[in-house]
Structures are given as structure tokens and as C-alpha cells.
Structure 1
């Protein structure tokens, strides 16, 4: 067994089908990969279909968040003002709750980070903020959040790269009605809203004061944006220093990815094993199985990161391709999955690959020694279960007499582990997956930084919404027309 270490995390690929040496001899990176990797690190790798550079790695600098030593950034000022209780609403009451309204990359990363790292807040905040997340266009999340917050003490973050996302604006339109019994719209906009977008003009046109706007570059893709101002909810939940530590972990993984030889490079090996499993073994899906409750949102986050990036049938220069690219990404919190879908993994007919994510130890500050000891014991229980199920998925358990007790095994997996989950190792883990996706995109000759299928779906939805809202006979297929008529009635 060879453990590959980098930036505070480690990769054990010994349960894959090939050794590292055999893998590198069978799956070769393109000759221009090193050049493209350096372009990514410098922020001048080209997203060709959208004609702009890819710049999310440049966000992974403390200066990007805190500002230079002689000038504190607006981001830092906002975080400190809110966490100290000095941000007052329009009626003079301190803000005690924050609602982040965004979808996709404006929701998944901030939500995941805020939940995973809550315990690491160390700035002695005088004002513990309740941070909520609203993304669904159906209003279901608003329905749950609005009854437990107060318009006078709640601040809304409108997070949208384009500041035109219909899901987000639909939620905000409802909020604008909800605040009216207690606040005027002008009061709400001036004291209860922060806008986060790459489009400052649209934020200004919407009525958000310039001092309450945070911007980030066009080259920061939504699914790569938690490192930017989109990460504001993480800093509000966990403190500015904690968010800076996340950035430091991401930067450390950047350095590892840029400099480590292929045989010792965590993102490169994750990418190449994924390519081998997809193309040579014909495995079309990857189960992401974190064995720490703080990382329970990781599968959903990686689903967007990977599938929106590499779910493509066209090359970067817009030529049709006839080979498989990114796999289906799915999964769930491992200990809960054991009581749900692991039965199918162990004894179903379908092939899959898996990424187990394991945290070996956990501190329990703030608890009595006896409780801390029991929590440490529970972490060891999780470690044992992770290793057991990983072993069984690989080697199986043969029983020729009782089919019910036969476990076929043969499922390749990675084990990604860290001694402890910290803001640094969290940042390194997310950056490693980003670089894995980038490496596979270069190998498959696709553009990992656009999402044309998503855009077309949005346009189709606008056409159907218009049909639902008018009385003209709908002009779609028979089934869609019938459902539109039913929705009208």
C-alpha cells in the first residue's frame, strides 16, 4: 500500500484495479497538460466557448478576502460588522439572522462549508448569526425559513453571478412582499440586503447600495466560486479567520497539484483512475461516501462540480466526440448509507466505483472530558465501518452454498483521508476535486468551464412558463400541452 500525501490530505488507491505504475503506463496525459496546468495556476487558462480566462485559483489568497495590509476589503468589513453585532437594521435592531438566497454554485459550496466548519469559529463573535440557505424555486425553503425569522433583524444575501437567475429572483420577489408590513422596500434594500455578483450594474439597477455590493470576476465559474465573495456565508457562520484558513488549504493543494510528480500527485491520480474506470472498465458512476457527518453535503457539491463540468458530448473546439466523458456522481453520508443503499452496492448487479472520505480523529472542544471521550469513541466506530465496507466492496465474501450470503466484490475505490477535518484540510479536499475535474477535462479535450445544456434548459423553461401564464393554446408536445392546461386550471 502506498499512501500519497499532499496539503494535509492523503490518497490510498490500493483498492483500484491497477498499481500506480501500471496506471501511468496505460493512461497518459496529453503532452500539453503541464502547460495547461500552469495556465490554470496563473489564471490565464481559456474558457474558449465563453471567451474568458478561468480565474478561480486566483481567489485562493488571503488578500483576495482580507485585502492588503493597509486597506481592509469590503468583504472583511462586512463580516466583522455583522459578527460583532454592529450591523443595524432599518429600525435600529442588530442583525441576528442571515438568509443566503442563491442556487447552484451560489448555494452548494457556501452551504456545505458553513455546515462543515461551524465549530472552527474562533473570532469571539459577540453576535452569533443564524445563517439559512434558500435555493429552491418552488418556495419550499422560504416556506420553512420565513416563519422563524424577523424582517427587522434579518439580512438577505442575494447571490447570483449573473444577477439574473430566475430561481433566485423568484425567491427574492416573495421576500419583498413578506417584509412590507414592517419595512418599506427602500429600508429593506438599504439596510437588509447584500448583493454578491459579477454584475455590479444589475445590482445597482436593482437598488442595492454600492457599499453593500460584493463582486467577483467573470472568470470565476459558479461551481468554482466558494473561494470568492460567494463564500460570504462561510465567513459569517465561521468567522473571517476560518474562511482565510479554507483559502490557505486550497492554495496548498494548488501548489501540490502544480509541482508533485504524477505518481505522487493526488488530483492527477484521482483523475487518471477515474478515466481508467470510465473508459477501460466501463463504469459509468462514482459513489462519493464521506464518513464524517460534517461532510454530508459533499456528494451534492461534487455532483455539480463534476457533472456540470464534464458531462459533455462536444470537444472544446465544438467537435462531436464518440467516447464517454464524466461519470454520474452520486452518493451520501456513509454511516447513513449503510442503512439505505449499501445493500445494492454489496449485492446488486451494477458496477460502480467509490470515493470513501475518512476523518481519523476529531477533537471535541467545549465538552466535558467524559463526553469528549465518548465522541472520540464514536469517530473510531465510523472509521471501522468505513474500512469494513470499503474492504467488502473490493474483496467481497464468497459463499457458493448460500446466494443470500454471497458478496461479489470487485468494486474499485479510493480512500481519501485526513487526520482531522480542519478548515485547511477542507479547502485542500475541495481544491483536489476541482483539479481532478480539470485534469479529466484536458484528457477528454472538453471545456470543463461552460454549461450549455443548463442554459438551454433555462430558455425552454421560460417558454413553457409564458404558456402557463397565458390563454393561448400551448404548442408543445401532447403530454406537455396537457400538463400546461391542467396547471392553468
Structure 2
């Protein structure tokens, strides 16, 4: 299939006319056309939180007046900063969706360096903010705080340390070097951030889709506003494909159906992402969050158990590093996993032999997973090499590749903002289709929220408040021990 300049080869997946017919019947039984329209037109797609999931509106070629106005404000801010050559350093503070997308875009298009240095700080571990501030001139550093609610503990604590660092370095008005990107401008204002430095996105933008919002300010400052616009254009083209292409030619739909078969029928517990492009190292955690936060559900929209395995564990790293790390398990392990191979047909460097080797490795690994190598073939190879027959037969058992392991091959003509935007939207829509078929809500994350609530209570205990008698015995023990060590 071809969608938004990307080729998607799913011939490595199980297929049959019967499966195709059953898949289309299942999509219709799940009211997929109506659900898709609700998603793309701003209807209530996130039913448990009673709001839209309208991130596609942020990249629409003709956005709403409010979205267009915020885009213009962001671009004006970037033009001002660039024309004055201000802020050679940026500390981007956010976590989850407020971090991974920006980190991906900056590493993809600024991998060889830019005139602005960017440090990303997400983790609450103090080593993260210490390293994020290290080596920067406080008088030429912009602090970008990205938090939808502007209550995210990690972001606010790290932001407070950054402001203290500015103050301690003699910056007279530190908040002139702070930007807030949030759906709660009122909270950012109370925090001290000036209105001109507050950029808004909306409640209907889920955190893991916030890349398409003003959260990409850091991307624009680091690698240009043209990169942000190009990614939005590519994503919009994939939105149009998703909305219009027939089921049989619809790339997100077909990838989703293969994923359903692999997880719920063939019982593969994970999905491997193998980008054969060094610049896409951060694509793996980006897709990991998108898939696992969206599809990590076991209860359907009616509040009942789904009844089949849902969202796989998502993992991986770039090839060819991956081949020397875990491809042994993919080829000969007892479980294995479907693999999404992602590669650019053309490189942007000047070493064609390197790219030829990269392409060869990508195709070879996919072919080996698909076709395998039988006992008879391995045995004959050994005999042809002169290995004694008894040893050859014994050795052959160790060299058999079962084959038949599913994969997709996704080919970008080259890595551009347009193709990266289209690729991310491809995965977004694929995840949505899987959620529709499983009957789950991909836009909430109650499991994350519960852990946050528990952490807040335990943090209070470690600070000297009364102990919570509801803890299990192990947690009670460690709260007491850690509290003593913090005195």
C-alpha cells in the first residue's frame, strides 16, 4: 500500500480472502466508519473523560481560528528569538507525551547539531535536572515547561529547580526566560509565567498527541518552524488517507487488523519496532508510549472484561544495533514477536556504501524471519562444507530458523518532516482502529493516574506526615526505612 508518500508492505503478515472478508465484517460490526468520523470531526471519542480526541485538528491544512492564532503566536515567538539570536541553550522540561515527540523530532532533524543546544529533562531523579542544566550559560538559556495540566509533579519540581538556578546565577527576571505550554494558562500565570510566554493547547489534546500542539515550540527553536509545519502537513496527508481510502487499501486499517491477529489470535505478546535509521532511535519510546498507554486496557466500553489479549508490549532499537542485541531471540526464541521494519530508501549522507549495507541488512533480517531455513537446508550446507555427517546432523538442529514470523516493511522515500509526520499519524490511526475492534477507550490512562495518587501520599509520609495504615507490609517497611535515611 502507499499512503502519504510512504510504502507499507504487509505481505509478511498472515492473509487470506476469508480473513479479509471477516475483518471487514468485524469493522462494520464495531461501527468503525461512525467511530472514525467521530474522531476526525471532534466528537466525543474519549468517552470515560467525556471529551474529544481531536489532535488531527492541530495539523489540519485549514485549522480553526483559535488553532491558527496560536500557531501564529508560536511562529512569531520563534522569529523574534531567531532574529535576535537569543537563547543559545534550551532546557525542555516535560514528561511522557510532553517529551517524547519533541525529543524524537529534534534528534531526527538536529542529529548533526544545531546552533542551539537542547537538553531534555523528564525524570524526577535529581540527576536529570542537574545534568540538564550543566554546562549552560544561565543568561542565555530558555526554560520550556510543557505540561497539559500544569500540575505534573516531575515537570513542576524540575521547573522550580531551573528557576532557582536562574535566580542563583543573578538573572534579574528569571520568568522572562521561562515559557509554559499548557491547557491551563491560568495555573501557569499564577506560577509567575508572563502571558506573552504562555502557549495554549486544549483539553481535547491527549498528552501523547501533544507533539502537534505548541509543545513543539522547542522543535521550532532547535530545528526550525519549517520542520514543525512539514510534520503537520505529512500527518494531515495521512489523516486524509485514513478518512478516505477503502478498507482493503487503508494502511492504518490493514496494519491494525494484522496487529489484532498477531495479538488476539496468534497470541504474540509483544511488538518489535526496528527503525533502520540512526536518526529514529527515539521513535521506539514514542511508539511504545502511544501503543502501551492507549491499548493497555482489559475492560471494554461497557465496563466488562474484553475477553481476549489486548495491547502488546512494544520495544526495540535501531538496526543494525538491534541485530547484535536481540535478533537472536526474534529468529530462534520460543516466543518471537512481530516486527515493524522501518527504513528510508534514500539517505541524506554522502556514504552510499553505508546505506547499501543498511538496506541489505534490513531486507535480509526480514527475509530470514519470513522464510526461515529448514533442517534439510542447513544439513546440506554443512555437508557441502565437508562437515562429517553425524556432526552435521547434530549441528543442523541448532541452525534451523523456523520462519513464518510476521513483519511489516515501512519504507519512507527519505527522512523528511513530511514523511516523519505521516509515519506518526499512521501509528496513531492504527492504534485507534485496534481500540475500536477491541472495544476499548484508547484515550484515557487510569492506570497511570492511580500510581500518581499513591506516590503523592507516600511522598507526604516521607516528609514527616502520619503513616498510612492501609499500606501492605512491604511498602510500610520501606517507607519507614527510606524515611529514616532522609532525616
Return the TM-score normalized by structure 2: 0.90
Give the whole-Å Cα distance in 2 for the aligned partners of 1:64 and 1:97: 31
* Residue 116 (structure 2) aligns with: 129
* Residue 388 (structure 1) aligns with: 364
Query: Contact 2:143/2:162 (CA < 8 Å) preserved in 1?
Result: no
* Residue 325 (structure 1) aligns with: 310
The reply on whether 1:484 has 2:479 as its aligned counterpart is yes
Give the whole-Å Cα distance in 1 for the aligned partners of 2:245 and 2:106: 30
* Residue 14 (structure 2) aligns with: 17
Give the whole-Å Cα distance in 2 for the aligned partners of 1:36 and 1:351: 33
List per-residue Cα deviations over 1:436-485 (Å, max 9, x = no partner): 00111111111111111110110011111112221645532222122222
* Partner SS state of residue 180, structure 1: helix
List per-residue Cα deviations over 1:16-69 (Å, max 9, x = no partner): 1214x4432232313421111122221224311111111100001356599999
Following TM superposition, by how much is the alpha carbon of 1:110 offset from its aligned partner in structure 2, in angstroms?
A: 0.7
- Aligned in 2, Cα 1:343/1:383: closer, same or farther, shift over 3 Å? same
Return the TM-score normalized by structure 1: 0.90
Query: Contact 1:277/1:353 (CA < 8 Å) preserved in 2?
Result: yes
Aligned length: 462
Give the whole-Å Cα distance in 1 for the aligned partners of 2:71 and 2:468: 55
- Aligned in 2, Cα 1:177/1:304: closer, same or farther, shift over 3 Å? same
* Residue 374 (structure 2) aligns with: 398
Following TM superposition, by how much is the alpha carbon of 1:232 offset from its aligned partner in structure 2, in angstroms?
A: 1.4
Give the whole-Å Cα distance in 2 for the aligned partners of 1:484 and 1:70: 49
* Partner SS state of residue 423, structure 2: helix
* Residue 77 (structure 2) aligns with: 78
- Aligned in 2, Cα 1:351/1:219: closer, same or farther, shift over 3 Å? same
Q: Indicate which of 146, 165, 172 corresponds to 1:178.
A: 165
Give the whole-Å Cα distance in 2 for the aligned partners of 1:96 and 1:138: 25
* Residue 188 (structure 1) aligns with: 174
Q: Indicate which of 98, 109, 123 corresponds to 1:117.
A: 109
The reply on whether 1:431 has 2:425 as its aligned counterpart is yes
Unaligned runs of 5+ in 1: 87-93, 122-126, 365-371
Following TM superposition, by how much is the alpha carbon of 1:188 offset from its aligned partner in structure 2, in angstroms?
A: 0.6
Following TM superposition, by how much is the alpha carbon of 1:213 offset from its aligned partner in structure 2, in angstroms?
A: 0.4
Query: Contact 2:271/2:315 (CA < 8 Å) preserved in 1?
Result: yes
Give the whole-Å Cα distance in 2 for the aligned partners of 1:18 and 1:417: 21
C-alpha RMSD of the superposition: 2.2
Q: Indicate which of 265, 289, 306 corresponds to 1:280.
A: 265
Query: What does 1:438-449 correspond to in 2, within 5 Å?
Result: 438-449=432-443
- Aligned in 2, Cα 1:64/1:248: closer, same or farther, shift over 3 Å? same
The reply on whether 1:412 has 2:406 as its aligned counterpart is yes
Give the whole-Å Cα distance in 2 for the aligned partners of 1:173 and 1:119: 29
The reply on whether 1:219 has 2:204 as its aligned counterpart is yes
- Aligned in 2, Cα 1:71/1:9: closer, same or farther, shift over 3 Å? closer
* Residue 150 (structure 1) aligns with: 137
Unaligned runs of 5+ in 2: 380-392
* Residue 89 (structure 1) aligns with: none
The reply on whether 1:6 has 2:3 as its aligned counterpart is yes
* Partner SS state of residue 109, structure 1: helix
Give the whole-Å Cα distance in 2 for the aligned partners of 1:67 and 1:385: 47
**Between Structure 1 and Structure 2, which shows a larger proportion of helix residues?**
2
List per-residue Cα deviations over 1:388-429 (Å, max 9, x = no partner): 111111222223622332222221011111121111110000
* Partner SS state of residue 320, structure 2: helix
